């Protein structure tokens, strides 16, 4: 019993590390919260304006001169995958820092993707930023998008618990090498920050959106330290599957 309690407490503490810090501002937090309670028709219209990946794509991150190959899965997570591939293609991730690396008390994640980290002179708190869309001047947010195993389409804006299917498995589980979006406590608050899992992390299933897996280069991921930068991020296959309205 005590071992289980200790595991639960450690898991809870680790999950809080995935949260994007404070949504950056009260206004941004309000924006994210409002998205999750909009009428379905309005939310669907908003989602239709986001990039989507119809199929799969391959992205190669280069860190410390070594490649990390990611298969991005738009069949199970079209909006989440489309957002990532679009940002990679725009060069958003080039030069960004892995601002959070957690290996103790157990292997957990490496996390990056805060655009503020591109500036080596930035003195604020990393982990609070997201991608600012130059066409709107606002941070692009995407809905929480998780497909249950065997389902034809994703569930949006809800965790499996709030959707009443807490015991169900996702089509894309948090196994070692999963690539997923970090977010705040608001379901629809993910933007550009992502993490790569260092172990099987089943307790995250149904709460965070996995959109792909490292297929080559986990040995490189295992060497990433806090402060290491992404030298470059390139879409090497499947860019034709990215649809932008």
**Distance from C-alpha of 85 to C-alpha of 72, rounded to nearest angstrom:** 8
Pick the closest to residue 53 from 205, 195, 216, 211 (CA basis): 211
Q: Given this model, what pLDDT does residue 123 score?
A: 86
pTM of the prediction? 0.87
Chain segment 196-244, per-residue pLDDT in tens: 999 999 999 999 999 999 999 999 999 999 999 999 999 999 999 999 9
Which CATH number is 166's domain given?
2.40.100.10
Of the CA atoms within 13 Å of residue 161, those in its CB half-sphere come to 6
At 141, is the secondary structure helix, strand, or coil? coil
**Distance from C-alpha of 66 to C-alpha of 221, rounded to nearest angstrom:** 10
**Distance from C-alpha of 191 to C-alpha of 185, rounded to nearest angstrom:** 13
Cβ atoms of 77 and 209 within 8 Å: the answer is yes
Q: Domain containing 116: what range?
A: 2-243
**Distance from C-alpha of 170 to C-alpha of 160, rounded to nearest angstrom:** 9
Q: Given this model, what pLDDT does residue 41 score?
A: 45
Q: Given this model, what pLDDT does residue 131 score?
A: 98
Residue with tokens 């709460």: 207
Cα dihedral 86, 34, 197, 61 in deg (nearest 10): 20
Per the structure, how many domains does the chain have? 1
Q: Given this model, what pLDDT does residue 72 score?
A: 98
In the chain, which stretches have pLDDT less than 70?
1-46
Cβ atoms of 166 and 160 within 8 Å: the answer is yes
């Amino acid at each position: 019993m005590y071992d289980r309690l200790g595991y639960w407490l450690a898991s809870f503490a680790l999950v809080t590390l995935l949260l994007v810090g404070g949504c950056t501002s009260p206004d941004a937090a309000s924006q994210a919260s409002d998205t999750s309670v909009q009428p379905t028709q309005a939310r669907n219209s908003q989602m239709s304006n986001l990039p989507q990946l119809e199929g799969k794509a391959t992205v190669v991150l280069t860190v410390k001169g070594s490649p990390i190959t990611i298969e991005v899965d738009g069949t199970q997570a079209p909006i989440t995958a489309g957002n990532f591939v679009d940002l990679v293609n725009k060069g958003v991730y080039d030069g960004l820092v892995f601002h959070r690396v957690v290996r103790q008390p157990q292997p957990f994640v490496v996390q990056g993707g805060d655009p503020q980290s591109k500036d080596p002179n930035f003195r604020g708190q990393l982990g609070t930023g997201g991608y600012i869309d130059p066409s709107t001047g606002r941070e692009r947010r995407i809905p929480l998008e998780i497909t249950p195993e065997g389902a034809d389409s994703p569930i949006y804006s809800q965790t499996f618990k709030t959707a009443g299917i807490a015991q169900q498995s996702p089509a894309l589980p948090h196994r070692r090498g999963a690539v997923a979006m970090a977010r705040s406590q608001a379901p629809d608050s993910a933007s550009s920050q992502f993490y790569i899992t260092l172990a099987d992390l089943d307790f995250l299933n149904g709460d965070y959106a996995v959109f792909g897996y490292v297929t080559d280069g986990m040995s490189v991921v295992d060497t990433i330290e806090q402060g290491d930068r992404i030298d470059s991020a390139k879409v090497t296959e499947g860019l034709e599957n990215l649809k932008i309205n």
